[in-house]
Amino acid sequence: MLAEWILALTTPAPPATRRLGLVHDTVALWARSRRQARAWAPHREQAQAAVLRVADQAPGEGLAVVLGAGWLLEVPLEALAARFQQVVLVDAVIPWPTRLAIRRAGPGVRVLETDLTGILGPLAASPATEPVVPDPALFPPIARAADLVVSANVLSQLAVAPRRWMERAGQDGAAQDRVARALIDAHLAALAQCSGAVCLITDFEREERATDGAGAASRVDLLFGARPGVEGTRWWWDLAPPGEEGRHLRVRHRVMGGRFLAEGGGRFLPEGPSDAALACAPVP
């Protein structure tokens, strides 16, 4: 707890970002990633492999831009730094361990603190007003011309802090859902405008299952009905094994990763058990 408190206190962030709780969320993710390092390892391996497969399709080796870099959980930084002349890591919060990793990765890697939602400032100033989501999203200009753009498992997270802030201000669920879907659609629209190879890693479904056999599994759509087109693979992320969110509760997220298809649709390579088998797999 002391380490988390120190990290939260020392992590640089703009006032609106800190006020809406993104620093707290960033630190909480770090703490859980440490507790669940073994359980999360397969997810990280799958995600990073997907990034490298799309990197192989990049038209050049000049610039790679990673959106939602965060803790680099899904980002093979060393491999990208070795391949591209420049790598720019973009996120609303860039924690110190990531900044230190950048120094080790070499002079071609840098960070860019940016609000990928475009609404954190307006929400912080007027939390009771439904924000207008920029569409397409306001990506850094360098992203449009980059050889490789990676959306690193940020799509489902764009609305987490805004929804929480809107709820606290008394805005109803319908308004929260509208903003959530608008943020997702705007992000995908901006990805479609990028001229290089685009890799999309995103979780899209949450499954909660009791390990004691009490009741059926429940599932939640993390993308509010959006289904981006991806050519790649899908897998389960063992997000919260029993004991993390509840003694007899297991939480998994379904993840897709691969080349983003602006025209929609999806083509997924067979990898391990079939989707149907995974969905019905018993909980150990």
* Predicted structure pTM score: 0.90
Measure the CA–CA gap between 30 and 71, rounded to whole angstroms: 7
Q: Is 261 helix (H, G, I), strand (E, B) or coil?
A: strand
Query: Residue 201: is it exposed, middle or buried by C-beta count within 10 angstroms (0-12/13-18/19+)?
Result: buried
- State residue 92's pLDDT score: 95
Confidence of residue 283 (pLDDT cuts 50, 70, 90): very low
Q: Counting runs of H as helices and runs of E as strands, what totals does the chain give?
A: 11, 9
Range of weakest confidence among 20-24, 253-257, 268-272: 268-272
Give me the residue label for tokens 């940020």. Answer: 154
Range of weakest confidence among 18-22, 202-206, 227-231, 265-269: 265-269
Phi then psi for 68, rounded to 5 degrees? 80, 40
pLDDT in tens, 52-107: 999 999 999 999 999 999 999 999 999 999 999 999 999 999 998 899 999 999 89
Structural Rg of the chain based on CA atoms: 18
Q: Name the fold adopted by 2-264.
A: Rossmann fold (3.40.50)
Measure the CA–CA gap between 139 and 193, rounded to whole angstroms: 10
Q: Is 14 helix (H, G, I), strand (E, B) or coil?
A: coil
Under DSSP, the state recorded for 129 is S
Confidence of residue 267 (pLDDT cuts 50, 70, 90): low
Under DSSP, the state recorded for 156 is G
- State residue 113's pLDDT score: 95
Confidence of residue 274 (pLDDT cuts 50, 70, 90): very low
Residue 50: how many CA atoms within 13 Å on its side-chain side?
33
* CB-based contact 11:26 (threshold 8 Å): yes
Query: Which H or E run includes 182?
Result: helix 173-192
Helix, strand, coil share (%) of the chain residues, nearest 5: 40, 25, 35
Confidence of residue 270 (pLDDT cuts 50, 70, 90): low
Residues in CB range of 100: below 8 A, 6 or more apart: none
Tokens describing residue 210: 């009791």
- State residue 50's pLDDT score: 98
Q: What residue spans define the domains of the chain?
A: 2-264
157: alpha, beta or left? (left if phi > 0; alpha if psi -120 to 50): alpha
Residue 251: how many CA atoms within 13 Å on its side-chain side?
12
> Is the omega angle on the peptide bond into residue 162 within 30 degrees of 0, that is, cis?
no
Residues of the chain with pLDDT > 70, as a percent, come to 93
Strand partners, 221: 205
Measure the CA–CA gap between 84 and 63, rounded to whole angstroms: 6
